[in-house]
Amino acid sequence: MSSRSPDAKAPDPARRSDRSRRAILDAALSLVSEVGYNKLTIEAIAARAGVGKQTIYRWWPSKAAVLLDASLALADDAKEEVEGDWTGIPDTGDLAADLKLVLRATVDQFNDEKYEAPMRALTAAGATDPELSARFTEQLLRPQLALYEERLRAAREAGGLAADVDLGLTVEMLVGPLTYRWLMGTAPLTHAFADELVDRVLGGVAGVSKVTEA
Amino acid sequence: MSSRSPDAKAPDPARRSDRSRRAILDAALSLVSEVGYNKLTIEAIAARAGVGKQTIYRWWPSKAAVLLDASLALADDAKEEVEGDWTGIPDTGDLAADLKLVLRATVDQFNDEKYEAPMRALTAAGATDPELSARFTEQLLRPQLALYEERLRAAREAGGLAADVDLGLTVEMLVGPLTYRWLMGTAPLTHAFADELVDRVLGGVAGVSKVTEA
Amino acid sequence: MSSRSPDAKAPDPARRSDRSRRAILDAALSLVSEVGYNKLTIEAIAARAGVGKQTIYRWWPSKAAVLLDASLALADDAKEEVEGDWTGIPDTGDLAADLKLVLRATVDQFNDEKYEAPMRALTAAGATDPELSARFTEQLLRPQLALYEERLRAAREAGGLAADVDLGLTVEMLVGPLTYRWLMGTAPLTHAFADELVDRVLGGVAGVSKVTEA
Amino acid sequence: MSSRSPDAKAPDPARRSDRSRRAILDAALSLVSEVGYNKLTIEAIAARAGVGKQTIYRWWPSKAAVLLDASLALADDAKEEVEGDWTGIPDTGDLAADLKLVLRATVDQFNDEKYEAPMRALTAAGATDPELSARFTEQLLRPQLALYEERLRAAREAGGLAADVDLGLTVEMLVGPLTYRWLMGTAPLTHAFADELVDRVLGGVAGVSKVTEA
DNA sequence: ATTTAAACGAGACGGTACGTCACGTCTTTAG
DNA sequence: CTAAAGACGTGACGTACCGTCTCGTTTAAAT
- Can you name the CATH fold of A13-203? Tetracycline Repressor; domain 2 (1.10.357)
Separation in Å: E6 C1' and D15 CA: 8
pLDDT digits (tens, 9 = 90+) for B93-128: 999 999 999 999 999 999 999 999 999 999 999 999
**Annotated domain spans of chain C:** 1-84, 87-203
pLDDT band at B77 (very low <50, low <70, confident <90, very high): confident
Counted across chains C and D, CB pairs separated by less than 8 A come out at 145
pLDDT digits (tens, 9 = 90+) for C164-198: 999 999 999 999 999 999 999 999 999 999 999 99
User: Residue A44: CA atoms inside 13 Å, Cβ hemisphere, count?
Assistant: 15
pLDDT at residue B196 tops 50? yes
Contact B137, A181 (CB under 8 A): no
In this complex, which residue's CA is closest to the C1' atom of nucleotide E9? D52
Tell me, what's the pLDDT at C2?
44
Q: Does domain C87-203 have CATH number 1.10.357.10?
A: yes
Tell me, what's the pLDDT at C83?
62
With CB atoms and an 8 Å threshold, state whether D181 touches C172.
yes
- Can you name the CATH fold of D87-214? Tetracycline Repressor; domain 2 (1.10.357)
DSSP state of B186: S
> What are D206's strand-pairing partners?
D161
Residue D213 beta carbon within 7 A of nucleic strand E: no
Q: Coil, strand or helix: which one is B86?
A: coil
Tell me, what's the pLDDT at B51?
96
CATH class of the domain at B1-86: mainly alpha
C-alpha B134, offset from chain centre? 13
Neighbours of A157 (CB within 10 A): 10
Q: What gap in Å lies between CA B61 and CA B125, rounded to an integer?
A: 13
Backbone phi, then psi, for D211, in 5-degree steps?
-115, -50
pLDDT at residue C14 tops 60? yes
Q: Which of A78-87, C138-147, D10-19, D74-83 is the least confident region?
A: A78-87
What percent of chain B is modeled with pLDDT above 90? 77
Contact C151, C174 (CB under 8 A): no
Average pLDDT of the segment spanning C75-102: 84
pLDDT at residue D57 tops 60? yes
Q: Which CATH superfamily is domain C1-84 in?
A: Tetracycline Repressor, domain 2 (1.10.357.10)
Tell me, what's the pLDDT at D176?
98
pLDDT higher at D82 or C202: C202
pLDDT digits (tens, 9 = 90+) for C189-204: 999 999 999 999 998 7
Q: What gap in Å lies between CA C66 and CA C136, rounded to an integer?
A: 12
Average pLDDT of the segment spanning A152-162: 93
pLDDT band at A97 (very low <50, low <70, confident <90, very high): very high
pLDDT band at A205 (very low <50, low <70, confident <90, very high): low
Amino acid at A91: D
Residue D41 beta carbon within 7 A of nucleic strand E: no
Q: Does domain D14-83 have CATH number 1.10.357.10?
A: yes
DSSP assignments along chain A, one per residue: --SS-TTSPPP-GGG--HHHHHHHHHHHHHHHHHH-STT--HHHHHHHHT--HHHHHHH-SSHHHHHHHHHHHHHHHHHHHH-TT--SS---S-HHHHHHHHHHHHHHHHH-HHHHHHHHHHHHHHHT-HHHHHHIIIIIIHHHHHHHHHHHHHHHHTTSB-TT--HHHHHHHHHHHHHHHHHH-SS---HHHHHHHHHHHHHTTBSS-SSS--
How close A133 comes to chain B (CA, Å)? 7
* Mean predicted lDDT score pLDDT of chain A: 90
Domain D14-83 matches domain D87-214 at the CATH topology level: yes
pLDDT band at A5 (very low <50, low <70, confident <90, very high): low
Average pLDDT of the segment spanning C149-166: 93
pTM, entire model: 0.90
Tell me, what's the pLDDT at A81?
72
Q: What gap in Å lies between CA A76 and CA D125, rounded to an integer?
A: 55
C-alpha B166, offset from chain centre? 22
DSSP assignments along A80-96, one per residue: HHH-TT--SS---S-HH
pLDDT higher at B87 or D26: D26
Sign of CA dihedral B21, B23, B26, B27: negative
With CB atoms and an 8 Å threshold, state whether A185 touches B128.
no
What percent of chain C is modeled with pLDDT above 70? 89
Contacts of B157 (CB under 8 A, 6+ apart): none
Q: Mark whether B and C touch (3+ CB pairs within 8 Å).
A: no
Q: What gap in Å lies between CA B184 and CA A75, rounded to an integer?
A: 18
Separation in Å: E3 C1' and D13 CA: 22
With CB atoms and an 8 Å threshold, state whether C129 touches D38.
yes
